[in-house]
């Protein structure tokens, strides 16, 4: 009788790529994968350890899955970032966990489970700087028409607030031919949109080839006939050069959308963060991107309440956001991560102040979003259909990435399936979402 394995994948889409590889490995070894953990003989939690709230979610999920051992579940497996960084603590404080697999040991998942089922405690934690295992099987868990491709692992930026280098190691690019082959296989299996992810995609290739190669990689991917859209996430502003901008501008398949995590707009805060740019340079980049690629949609992330952030520095951030007018933005309250340089800084901001600043920044960004949506009235957008609810289809244009961005709701004059592309004329809007109708003559 086959062993059923249930997965819970937490954290970012880079972690999801690891989950999909582990599912692929297990499927090849004749394990049965189930979407219902209560049916599973083995429960696997791919944990996140990026910030405090993510760590707590990972611990809570492990404890929740541990309760299933009172029923059918025989084995509990912890993988991913929390497992990598806190394996000793997990062994001591969570004895319910039977198998621990680190971030560079995902290819040990099948062996770890097999050994665990023999009543052995298994810990597979390897050097965080090991090369990324290549040519691993993969089972896509996103909708069939879209998939993430992780193009690099780790990070060398050493921002003072970030624990990623201590969990995922130094920056390691994947060989270009491996990425292209993966994209070809995905496209041949029905994927129409690929999303390139890494902690910093703009540095892709610098370690392998001695120079940045993201532009070349994008051109190679755009040559894959079956692909409709190529999307890039996590472009650090200081490395977003003219060559990359021109490639995004010229290649039709590259959606005119960039996720640029700037984190702040005040120079003194950016310096304490260890960022290698300043507010003026970021604003100049935003202006250049909109000048060169007029329809581009820019997303960013912001941290409020960084150690030492004064009221004046926070006001400078708000003024910066008002000037930049990012189309999409996520605001995060600073999380003090042990072992990072920022954790040792003086003048840590209290939780109440952080939350007040979060509310103010969010309110400003909502106003910017509302005004942006107002300008979309009457525009025609190419949209990928993702589903149907409340008598309307919904989907995304090139200006929205899956899961993190708002949706476009629309009526259609024909039956559509998830993954179908159409043209939608925008008729109305609210704070986040757009509403429209399929073009009458579009087939």
Beta carbons of 160 and 206 less than 8 angstroms apart: no
Residues of the chain with CATH 3.40.50.12160: 4-124
What is 146-373's CATH topology? pyruvate-formate lyase- activating enzyme (3.80.30)
Render pLDDT for 12-69 as a digit per residue (tens, 0 to 9): 888 899 999 999 999 999 999 998 888 899 999 999 877 778 888 888 888 888 888 8
Closest among 382, 362, 385, 356 to 431, alpha carbons compared? 362
C-alpha distances (whole Å) from 283 to each of 196, 274, 412 are: 24, 18, 39
Please state, in angstroms and rounded to a whole number, the distance separating the CA atoms of residues 333 and 371. 25
pLDDT level of residue 442 (50, 70, 90 thresholds): low
CATH assignment of 380-438, among 1.10.579.10, 2.60.40.10, 3.90.45.10, 2.40.50.140: 2.40.50.140
Q: Which residue has the higher pLDDT, 217 or 13?
A: 217
Residues of the chain with CATH 2.40.50.140: 380-438
| pLDDT given for residue 67 in this prediction | 86
| pLDDT given for residue 1 in this prediction | 59
Beta carbons of 324 and 285 less than 8 angstroms apart: no
pLDDT level of residue 159 (50, 70, 90 thresholds): very high
pLDDT level of residue 286 (50, 70, 90 thresholds): very high
Q: What is the largest CA-CA distance in the chain?
A: 65
What lies within 8 Å, CB to CB, of 33 at 6+ separation is 4, 5, 6, 7, 23, 26, 27, 139
Closest among 382, 115, 396 to 252, alpha carbons compared? 382
Please state, in angstroms and rounded to a whole number, the distance separating the CA atoms of residues 320 and 18. 36
Residues belonging to the chain: 443
| pLDDT given for residue 384 in this prediction | 95
| pLDDT given for residue 392 in this prediction | 93
CATH assignment of 4-124, among 3.40.50.300, 3.40.710.10, 3.40.50.12160, 3.40.50.150: 3.40.50.12160
Mean pLDDT, residues 291-301 taken together: 95
Render pLDDT for 179-203 as a digit per residue (tens, 0 to 9): 999 999 999 999 999 999 999 999 9
| pLDDT given for residue 208 in this prediction | 94
Residue 441 scores a pLDDT above 80: no
Which strand (E) or helix (H) includes residue 330?
Answer: strand 328-333
Give me 438's structure tokens.
């399929």
Residue 443 scores a pLDDT above 70: no
Q: Are strands 42-47 and 75-79 parallel, antiparallel or unpaired?
A: parallel
Task: Please state, rounded to an integer, the average pLDDT across all residues of the chain.
Answer: 92
Render pLDDT for 109-145 as a digit per residue (tens, 0 to 9): 999 999 998 888 888 999 999 887 888 999 999 999 9
What lies within 8 Å, CB to CB, of 108 at 6+ separation is 101, 124
- pTM beyond 0.85: yes
Mean pLDDT, residues 316-323 taken together: 97
Closest among 58, 60, 77, 61 to 11, alpha carbons compared? 58
Render pLDDT for 363-421 as a digit per residue (tens, 0 to 9): 999 999 999 999 999 999 999 999 998 889 999 999 999 989 999 999 998 899 999 99
Render pLDDT for 78-119 as a digit per residue (tens, 0 to 9): 999 989 988 988 898 888 999 999 999 999 999 999 999 888
Please state, in angstroms and rounded to a whole number, the distance separating the CA atoms of residues 62 and 94. 8
pLDDT level of residue 250 (50, 70, 90 thresholds): very high
Residues of the chain with CATH 3.80.30.20: 146-373
Beta carbons of 402 and 345 less than 8 angstroms apart: no
Please state, in angstroms and rounded to a whole number, the distance separating the CA atoms of residues 406 and 299. 12
| pLDDT given for residue 266 in this prediction | 97
Which strand (E) or helix (H) includes residue 287?
Answer: helix 279-292
């Amino acid at each position: 009788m086959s062993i059923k394995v249930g997965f819970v994948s937490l954290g970012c889409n880079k972690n999801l790529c690891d989950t999909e590889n582990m599912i692929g490995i297990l499927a090849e070894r004749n394990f049965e994968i189930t979407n219902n953990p209560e049916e599973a003989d083995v429960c696997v939690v791919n944990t996140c350890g990026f910030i405090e709230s993510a760590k707590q979610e990972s611990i809570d999920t492990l404890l929740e899955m541990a309760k299933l051992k009172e029923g059918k579940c025989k084995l509990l497996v912890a993988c991913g970032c929390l497992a990598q960084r806190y394996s000793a603590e997990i062994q001591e404080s969570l004895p319910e966990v039977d198998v621990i697999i680190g971030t560079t040991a995902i290819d040990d998942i099948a062996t770890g489970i097999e050994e665990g089922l023999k009543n052995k405690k298994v810990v597979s934690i390897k050097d965080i700087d090991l090369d990324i295992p290549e040519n691993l099987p993969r089972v896509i868990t996103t909708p069939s028409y879209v998939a993430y491709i992780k193009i690099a692992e780790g990070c060398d930026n050493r921002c003072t607030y970030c624990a990623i280098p201590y969990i995922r190691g130094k920056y390691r690019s994947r060989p270009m031919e491996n990425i292209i082959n993966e994209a070809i296989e995905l496209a041949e299996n029905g994927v129409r949109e690929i999303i390139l992810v890494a902690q910093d995609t703009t540095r892709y290739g610098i370690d392998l080839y001695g120079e940045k190669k993201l532009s070349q990689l994008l051109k190679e991917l755009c040559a894959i006939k079956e692909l409709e859209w190529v999307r890039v996430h996590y472009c650090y502003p200081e490395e977003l050069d003219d060559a990359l901008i021109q490639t995004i501008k010229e290649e039709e398949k590259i959606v005119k959308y960039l996720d640029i995590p700037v984190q702040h707009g005040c120079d003194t805060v950016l310096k304490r963060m260890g960022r290698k740019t300043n507010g003026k340079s970021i604003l100049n980049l935003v202006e250049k991107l909109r000048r060169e690629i007029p329809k581009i949609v820019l997303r960013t992330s912001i941290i409020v309440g960084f150690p030492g952030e004064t009221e004046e520095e926070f006001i400078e951030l708000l003024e910066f956001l008002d000037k930049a007018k990012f189309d999409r933005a996520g605001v995060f309250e600073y999380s003090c991560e042990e072992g990072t340089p920022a954790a040792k800084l003086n003048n840590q901001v209290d939780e109440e102040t952080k939350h007040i600043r979060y509310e103010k920044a969010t309110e400003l960004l909502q106003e910017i979003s509302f005004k942006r949506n107002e300008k979309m009235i009457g525009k025609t957008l190419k949209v990928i259909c993702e589903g149907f609810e409340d008598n309307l289809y919904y989907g995304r244009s090139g200006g929205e990435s899956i899961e993190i961005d708002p949706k476009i709701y629309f009526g259609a004059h024909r039956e559509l399936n998830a993954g179908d592309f159409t043209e939608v004329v925008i008729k109305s809007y609210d704070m986040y979402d757009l509403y429209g109708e399929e073009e009458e003559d579009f087939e």
